[in-house]
Amino acid sequence: MSAAEGPLVVGVDTSTQSTKALVVDVATGRIVASGQAPHTVTTGAGRESDPRQWWDALLEALRQCGEPAREAAAVSVGGQQHGLVTLDAQGEPVRPALLWNDVRSAPQAHRLTEELGGAKGWAERTGSVPTASFTVTKWAWLAEHEPEAARATRAVRLPHDYLTERLTGQGTTDRGDASGTGWWSSGTEAYDEEVLAHVGLDPALLPRVVRPGEVAGTVRDGHGLPFSKGTLVACGTGDNAAAALGLGVRPGVPVMSLGTSGTVYAVSRRRTADPTGTVAGFADARGDWLPLACTLNCTLAVDRVAALLHLDREAVEPGRGVTLLPYLDGERTPNLPGASGLLHGLRHDTTGGQLLQAAYDGAVHALLGALDLVLEEDADRSAPLLLIGGGARGTAWQETVRRLSGRPVQVPEAKELVALGAAAQAAGLLTGEDPAAVARRWNTAAGPVLEAVERDEETLARISGVLSDAAPLLDRDHGVRDG
C-alpha cells in the first residue's frame, strides 16, 4: 500500500443492516482502508435494533481498517434517518431503537397531522407531513404504549447522533438529520416547541444542532477506539444527505437510490413544503435543501419475490399483462402504511420471470412518480438520472429504470457513498472546503452513462390504474390499526 498524499479521514455509514468505515486520503479521495460489521434487526411486530450493536460494529469496522484508522485526523458518521434512540441518565439505551421502517406509529402520525394544523400546516411548519417513519410519531407511539420507557428517557437521539456522542461525549446532531424528526422547523431552523409540547418531549432531552462546517467535538479517551485523543469529529448527517455529499451533487441533479428503501431526491436552493406529504422537505448537510421522497419497499421486497419464485434476482422476462405492487412492509410513498403486496392480471401463461419483472416495475413506478414531484418545474427532464445504492449495479434494476423513466442513467463507480459523504464532511473540517466540493474533487460521481430508451407509457399507465383502483383495499387499516 502506497503512502497517503495528504491527511487521512474516516467516514462511517451506520445503516439498517451494518456499519461501514472508510479511511480516505483527503488529497486524492483514495480509499486507503475499509471495514464492515453487521447488525441484527428484529422482524416481529416492528423493526428494532439495540444501539449498542452499532457501537460494537463501528469498533469492529475500525479494527478491520488497521493502522490507517489510527492516523486519521478527523471522523464523521452518516446514518440511517428517523430512528428513535432513547437513553437513560447513564447514556445507556432504555430500550431497542425504533428504526425508520417500523410502521407501528401510523395511527399516531394520522392523529398528529389532524391535531396540529393538518397536512398543510405541518408542511409549512416542518417542511414535511409526518408519516410512520418520522421520529416524532415514534416518540408519540412510545409515550402511549410504553410510558415507563418514555419517563425513564433522559436523552433522545438519532442513530448517527448516538455514535457521534459516544465518540465525543457531547450530544449533537445536524440540520439534515434533524429535519427528518418532525420536531425541527425548516422555517426557523430550530426545534419546534409547540410540537414538542404536544407530544410531551422536553427540548432539554434533544441534542444541540451543529451548523454545517462546525466541529461537533473531539474524540475522548479510550473506549477501544483507534483514534488519538483530540481527533476532530464532524457533526455527521442522515444517510441521504451524506450520499448527496458523497456525490458532490449540484442543485437540480436527480438522484435515485436503490437500497432496502428506495429514495429520490435533488439538492435545491429553495425550502420545500409539499402539503400532499409525498415530498419531504428535508434540509441538506450544507445549508441548502434536499426535497426527497422515500419508498419502504425496494431491493429487499424484490429480492423476496425472487426468493418466493426460486429465481435469481436477474431472471426477469418481459411481459405486459401482470402488475405487482410489492408493498410487503406497508408503504410510505404512496402513503399506505397498512398495505400489503398486491398481484393483478395473473394468467395461465404468466411466467415466474414476468412476475419478477412486475415486482421491479412496481417498485420503480413508485419512485418515478415521486421524482416528478421532487424536481422543480424548470429542471432538465432529459438530464441523466444518477442511480446509486445496492441495486444500482443490477442489470434488471438499471434496465427497468431506463425503460420506465425514458431518461439516460448514470451509475457512479464509487461505492459506499454515504461513508464517502461522511469522509468528505470530515475532510472539510481540515481544509475549510465545502464537503460537496471535496467530493467533486474526488470525482465520486464518475461512471458509465446508459443512453435513454423510449419510455414505457403502457406499463406506467397500467400500474397507475391498478393502484388507483386498489388503494382503498390496500390501505383499509390506515389510521385505524394500532399496535
The strands making up 255-258's β-sheet, listed across from edge to edge, are 280-283, 289-295, 262-265, 255-258, 385-388, 409-410, 449-450
**Cell 416524532 sits on residue:** 136
Say whether 361 is catalytic: no
Strands 18-25 and 190-191: unpaired
Phi/psi of residue 427, nearest 5 degrees: -60, -35
246 close to 439: Cβ distance less than 8 angstroms = yes
Query: Measured between alpha carbons, how far is 425 from 438 in angstroms, rounded to an integer?
Result: 8
List, as one string, the DSSP characters of 34-79.
EEEEE-----SSS-EE-HHHHHHHHHHHHHHH-HHHHTEEEEEEEE
SS3 108: helix
How many residues in total does the chain contain? 483
Query: Measured between alpha carbons, how far is 290 from 292 in angstroms, rounded to an integer?
Result: 6
81 marked as part of a ligand binding site: yes
82 marked as part of a ligand binding site: yes
**Cell 434488471 sits on residue:** 396
Which positions ≥6 away from 420 have C-beta within 8 Å?
11, 22, 24, 29, 246, 414, 439, 442, 444
Task: Indicate which residue of 13, 25, 239, 329 is catalytic.
Answer: 239
Binding site, annotated residues for substrate = 81-82
Which amino acids are annotated catalytic?
A: 239
